[in-house]
Amino acid sequence: MPIRYRCRHCETEVGQLPLDSIDEAFLQKNNIEPEEQHIYIQTGAEGDYTIQCICEECQTSLQKFPSYYALKKWIQ
């Protein structure tokens, strides 16, 4: 099952990794704290993983409009 990277703001798929599972080395390499894993990593019904990240376009928008950081979902 692949690991998908999806923008948490616009929900665009950023990329995929053809891995079978997420192990501790992967989590440490990506600096995901154990108490934050449920926020950024979702497990699908088929055993696939989705990692919430941010795409370049949304990052650029956040840099231009820093007040967007206060909003949980700013793209409607």
Q: What is the pLDDT of residues 4-14, one digit of tens each?
A: 899 988 899 99
Name the one residue in this structure whose structure tokens are 């995901």.
32
Q: What is the pLDDT of residues 25-76, one digit of tens each?
A: 565 556 667 777 777 788 888 777 888 888 999 999 889 988 887 777 766 6
Q: Give me the residues paired with residue 15 across strands.
A: 5
Residue 18 corresponds to which amino acid?
P
Instruction: List, in order, residues 6 or more apart from 10 with CB less than 8 Å away.
Output: 55, 57, 58, 75
- Between strands 41-43 and 49-53, the pairing is antiparallel
